[in-house]
Amino acid sequence: MAVNTIDLNAMGLAARKASRVLAKIPEETRNSALLALADLLEANYEVIIGANDIDQAKAQKQNLSEHMLDRLILTKERIRDMAQGVRDIANLPDPLGIHRDSHTLPNGLWVQKRSVPLGVIASIYESRPNITVDIASLCMKSGNSTILRGGKEAFTTNKALVTLIQKAFTSSGLPPKGVQLVESTDRKFVRELLRMKDHIDLMIPRGGESLIQEVSANAYMPVITGGIGVCHTYVDKTANVEKAKNIIYNAKVQRPTVCNALDTVLIHSDVIETHLPAIASELNRASVELHCDSQSQAILSELTSLNTIAATQDDWGKEYLSLTAAVKVVSSIEEAIDHIEEYGSGHSEAIITEDHSTAMQFLDEVDAAVVYVNASTRFTDGGQFGLGAEIAISTNKLHARGPMGISELTSYKWIVLGNGQIRN
Amino acid sequence: MAVNTIDLNAMGLAARKASRVLAKIPEETRNSALLALADLLEANYEVIIGANDIDQAKAQKQNLSEHMLDRLILTKERIRDMAQGVRDIANLPDPLGIHRDSHTLPNGLWVQKRSVPLGVIASIYESRPNITVDIASLCMKSGNSTILRGGKEAFTTNKALVTLIQKAFTSSGLPPKGVQLVESTDRKFVRELLRMKDHIDLMIPRGGESLIQEVSANAYMPVITGGIGVCHTYVDKTANVEKAKNIIYNAKVQRPTVCNALDTVLIHSDVIETHLPAIASELNRASVELHCDSQSQAILSELTSLNTIAATQDDWGKEYLSLTAAVKVVSSIEEAIDHIEEYGSGHSEAIITEDHSTAMQFLDEVDAAVVYVNASTRFTDGGQFGLGAEIAISTNKLHARGPMGISELTSYKWIVLGNGQIRN
């Protein structure tokens, strides 16, 4: 595994060169490469599973956690899902060559923006090998070159997958250097990648908080920061208790390990007696551990038989990624918004309210990628929003915010058509 | 001038706080602050000119070049133009609160993007004091806080201008910390600013190449890279000689010191005898110095009496910013495109051609912020493109490319309106 002779600079140059070719490939050819990849994945599932077995055996020796092991494992069914995902991407409308803001100036110049690929996109990511196929497919669709650096746990699986991706490229007439894998898990290559701003237009880290922080702090090129969600749901004094109960249960329990899951319930003091016991009892059905401020803990101990834990300062702004939630009582929507401003991560924030003005105030004043009224934060997802697949959920404000689909992997160039115009 | 006790961190915190307030200020109030600023500039022109005199006296002692001195000088007329520019910005449509991509999902969720301010924008710039007013006004209009660090040459003028801007803020009920000037020219504060990624959402350097390179290489936050334009105009074998002559003359001569001025003429070998002498003679009217490759030099010496200079390798990819142009003969459009790819800066590139397919090939394959057919590259400008004023011309591919107006100073948030929806 410790290949020490990788010439990343040569990879970068090859990626840039391939990106020039990819930018000219018609939609039909890009789609046929995607469909070829889907077929190759299904036809070669034994090869993939064989490679995955090697990774799994290693992981077991290294006592990887159950959770990590589960993310690593590929089965025939998971490979079929992966192939279906690739076909779904092939079926998305072409994000390239779209003309916007087209207008004719008084001097007759016809000015417009045309969507074009970004160029070279690199991703540094952790264990899940399906990210390899996801990112490569989204970049193929959007005409971008890709440099992938996956986690060491999935090293053999990723190599097998990239071999198939490159086969699909070659068989469809796409440049095979359009997708390249850094075939080493030596961390020095990560640091080197992060410095390659001339060859890489955008860096997308996918993984846990420490990976994202490391990439974001050390990259010289633009980075999509995302994947970290400290999500609040605020139960307003006018909240409908049924909606509050169901939405909070869904936001916390439906998939607690992801970034759009609920972390903190903020609740207006007017409704702690009427709403909080119902919400807490509902969460208790899934054995959610509640870390409560003193006021909510007092109410719950008085009115219910639920066990709760006293919250500490560390609970505010904590992303649990597990069946734990913090609960805090606030005396106004302003206090709720201030809390979110101080402790939120700018990902997904929700209010439960029946009052229109309060809903509008929350939407106006909360500064996050996605702001909800009366819905579960779990909807923050490219697929759910109708964008097709997503490459990341950005908490950046520049370029793209929230779920990023293939359109967000494009830039534009201005096209100006004239007939001899000169400037006065 | 050497104030060493500036607390940039406190400025950053104040800017962030002000940005939260600014984001809520209605359009009408933002516009009235702009109109108040325009009036204050005109009413206080003597104060401004007094401050500018101090800067000029210093600059003369330091033997600043004529060119730099001219950029520094403010006159009553220039101040009136500045005020008019601010009024023009006030009259632009509001870039905030615009809803896009609005759609209703099958589950009834109503999803849309709403344009919002970016937050805190900082700019590090050189001598021209009107940049102070330009950037502050564009940021006021778009609801962003601003931290300004102007050049030492204009230090006193910038202080006077920011005082007036803050007065306009206060008189209209905007937070005065919405515009702040770093009141020191000590370079250590530049380096400190570039590290303040938590407080600054976007950094815009305005000035010469070395400033832009320095900011781009050392900033931890996103940077708009721009202002450097190595611009080519390619004269195709089907070019109309009149159009070629007029467009090239305009692109080179109309304002040679700016980034969208022509640097290199590429000309197809089929038309060097018919077109090049006409183009060169036209440029000679303005005494443009031509740095020619051997083939074009031979033709010009044979067919005209013009003096030319033999080009060296350094001429390819050089931004002259003066009445100098390089000339190179190519044998195909592909060679022209390859040359542009190798030596261009991704700013503005033009083709002169009467052949439709050739025009389309140039538009498709040249990777630059703005690509022209039969028009002068001098049009690359927010005002010319109908965007109103511009804050910069970006050669980045992320976020915004080419002329950036107030819309490019916005981000968006996703707004999701529900009625109790949960995710399955």
Q: Domain of B210: which CATH number?
A: 3.40.605.10
Distance between CA atoms of residues B343 and B341, nearest Å: 6
pLDDT digits (tens, 9 = 90+) for A194-249: 999 989 999 999 988 889 989 988 888 889 988 889 999 999 999 999 999 999 99
Average pLDDT over every residue of B285-310: 95
- Type of residue at B184: S
Do B302 and B317 lie in a common domain?
A: yes
Q: Please tell me whether the interface predicted TM-score (ipTM) of this complex is above 0.90.
A: yes
Enumerate the residues of chain B whose CB falls inside 8 A of the CB of residue A145. Answer: none
Question: Does residue A416 belong to the interface with chain B, where contact is any CB pair within 8 Å?
Answer: yes
Do B168 and B209 lie in a common domain?
A: yes
Angle value at C-alpha B339, between B209 and B317, nearest 5 degrees:
20
Kindly indicate the confidence band of residue B282, based on its pLDDT and cuts at 50, 70 and 90. Answer: very high
Among candidates A146, A122, A123, A153, which has minimal Cα distance to A51? A153
Percent of chain B with pLDDT over 70: 99
User: DSSP class of residue A319?
Assistant: -
* A 299-358 near B (Cβ less than 8 A): 341
Among candidates B203, B207, B238, which has minimal Cα distance to B222? B203
Which of A414, A415, A417, A419 would best serve as a mutation to test chain B binding (most B beta carbons within 10 A)? A414
User: DSSP class of residue A93?
Assistant: P
A66, part of any domain: yes
Do B347 and B278 lie in a common domain?
A: yes
Average per-residue pLDDT for chain A: 95
Residue B14, phi then psi, degrees to nearest 5: -65, -40
Kindly indicate the confidence band of residue B3, based on its pLDDT and cuts at 50, 70 and 90. Answer: low
Kindly indicate the confidence band of residue A37, based on its pLDDT and cuts at 50, 70 and 90. Answer: very high
Q: Are B357 and A400 in contact (CB under 8 A)?
A: no
Among candidates A305, A276, A270, which has minimal Cα distance to A292? A276
Do A52 and A159 lie in a common domain?
A: yes
Distance between CA atoms of residues B291 and B328, nearest Å: 9
Residue of B nearest to A368 (CA): B413
Question: Does residue B3 belong to the interface with chain A, where contact is any CB pair within 8 Å?
Answer: no
For residue A2, the distance in angstroms to the closest alpha carbon of chain B comes to 31
Do B189 and B242 lie in a common domain?
A: no
Distance between CA atoms of residues A262 and A234, nearest Å: 11
Angle value at C-alpha B120, between B118 and B125, nearest 5 degrees:
115
B263: domain CATH number is 3.40.309.10
The sign of the dihedral angle between the CA atoms of A394, A400, A402, A407 is negative
A366, part of any domain: yes
Question: Does residue B42 belong to the interface with chain A, where contact is any CB pair within 8 Å?
Answer: no
Average pLDDT over every residue of A293-299: 97
Do B183 and B318 lie in a common domain?
A: no
Q: Which two tokens stand for residue B179?
A: 């515009």
In chain B, how long is the greatest CA-to-CA distance?
Answer: 82
Q: Quick count: other Cβ atoms within 10 Å of Cβ A102?
A: 11
Three-state secondary structure of chain B: CCCCCCCHHHHHHHHHHHHHHHCCCCHHHHHHHHHHHHHHHHHCHHHHHHHHHHHHHHHHHCCCCHHHHHHHCCCHHHHHHHHHHHHHHHHCCCCCCCEEEEEECCCCCEEEEEEEECCEEEEEECCCCHHHHHHHHHHHHCCCEEEEECCHHHHHHHHHHHHHHHHHHHHCCCCHHHEEECCCCCHHHHHHHHHCCCCCCEEEEECCHHHHHHHHHHCCCCECCECCCCEEEEECCCCCHHHHHHHHHHHHHCCCCCCCCEEEEEEEHHHCCCCHHHHHHHHHCCCCEEEECHHHHHHHHHHCCCCCEECCHHHCCCCCCCCEEEEEEECCHHHHHHHHHHHCCCCEEEEECCCHHHHHHHHHHCCCCEEEEEECHHHCCCCCCCCCCCCEEECCCCCCCEEECHHHHEEEEEEEEEEEECCC
B393, part of any domain: no
A277, part of any domain: yes
Enumerate the residues of chain B whose CB falls inside 8 A of the CB of residue A373. Answer: 416-418
**pLDDT at residue B257 tops 60:** yes
Question: Does residue B385 belong to the interface with chain A, where contact is any CB pair within 8 Å?
Answer: yes
Question: Does residue B375 belong to the interface with chain A, where contact is any CB pair within 8 Å?
Answer: yes
CB contact (8 A) between residue B370 and residue A240? no
Do A337 and A289 lie in a common domain?
A: yes
Which of B413, B419, B424 would best serve as a mutation to test chain A binding (most A beta carbons within 10 A)? B413
Do B410 and B362 lie in a common domain?
A: no
- Beta strands per DSSP E along A141-230: 145-149, 179-181, 202-206
Q: Which of A119, A365, A373 sits opposite B24 (nearest CB)?
A: A365
**pLDDT at residue B339 tops 60:** yes
Angle value at C-alpha B183, between B182 and B187, nearest 5 degrees:
70
A276, part of any domain: yes
Range of the domain at B269: 231-384
A290, part of any domain: yes
**pLDDT at residue B1 tops 50:** no
Do B106 and B238 lie in a common domain?
A: no
Do A66 and A198 lie in a common domain?
A: yes
**pLDDT at residue A111 tops 60:** yes
CB contact (8 A) between residue B376 and residue A421? yes
Q: Are B293 and B313 in contact (CB under 8 A)?
A: no
Q: Are B229 and B347 in contact (CB under 8 A)?
A: yes
CB contact (8 A) between residue A420 and residue B341? no
Say what the pLDDT of residue B74 is: 95
Q: Which value, in Å, is the radius of gyration of the alpha carbons in chain B?
A: 24
Which of A218, A379, A412, A419 would best serve as a mutation to test chain B binding (most B beta carbons within 10 A)? A379
Enumerate the residues of chain B whose CB falls inside 8 A of the CB of residue A402. Answer: 413-414
B424, part of any domain: no
Do B214 and B315 lie in a common domain?
A: no
Q: Which of A247, A369, A415 sits opposite B413 (nearest CB)?
A: A369
**pLDDT at residue A84 tops 50:** yes
Residue A421, phi then psi, degrees to nearest 5: -65, 140
Q: Are B232 and B266 in contact (CB under 8 A)?
A: yes
Q: Are A333 and A271 in contact (CB under 8 A)?
A: no
Domain count, chain A: 2
* B 218-257 near A (Cβ less than 8 A): 220, 222, 240, 242-243, 246-247, 249-251, 254
User: Does residue A126 sit in helix, strand or coil?
Assistant: coil
CB contact (8 A) between residue B411 and residue A419? no
User: DSSP class of residue A142?
Assistant: T
Q: How many beta-carbon pairs below 8 A join chains A and B? A: 189
pLDDT digits (tens, 9 = 90+) for A352-367: 999 999 999 999 999 9
Average pLDDT over every residue of A66-89: 92
Average per-residue pLDDT for chain B: 95
Distance between CA atoms of residues B96 and B113, nearest Å: 11
Q: Which two tokens stand for residue A10?
A: 């040569």
Among candidates B393, B378, B387, which has minimal Cα distance to B406? B387
Helix or strand holding residue A112 (H, E)? strand A110-117
B394, part of any domain: no
pLDDT digits (tens, 9 = 90+) for A371-415: 999 999 999 999 999 888 889 999 999 999 999 999 999 999 999
Residue B403, phi then psi, degrees to nearest 5: -60, 130
Residue with tokens 């961190």: B9
Among candidates B169, B165, B223, which has minimal Cα distance to B193? B223
Say what the pLDDT of residue A3 is: 52
The H-assigned helical ranges of A220-369 are 241-253, 276-284, 294-303, 333-343, 356-365
pLDDT higher for B323 or A228?
B323
Distance between CA atoms of residues B37 and A136, nearest Å: 51
Which of A282, A366, A397 would best serve as a mutation to test chain B binding (most B beta carbons within 10 A)? A397
Do A294 and A313 lie in a common domain?
A: yes
Residue of A nearest to B23 (CA): A365
Distance between CA atoms of residues A178 and A165, nearest Å: 10
CB contact (8 A) between residue B411 and residue A398? yes
Percent of chain A with pLDDT over 90: 87
Distance between CA atoms of residues A424 and A345, nearest Å: 49
- Type of residue at A211: L
**pLDDT at residue A2 tops 70:** no
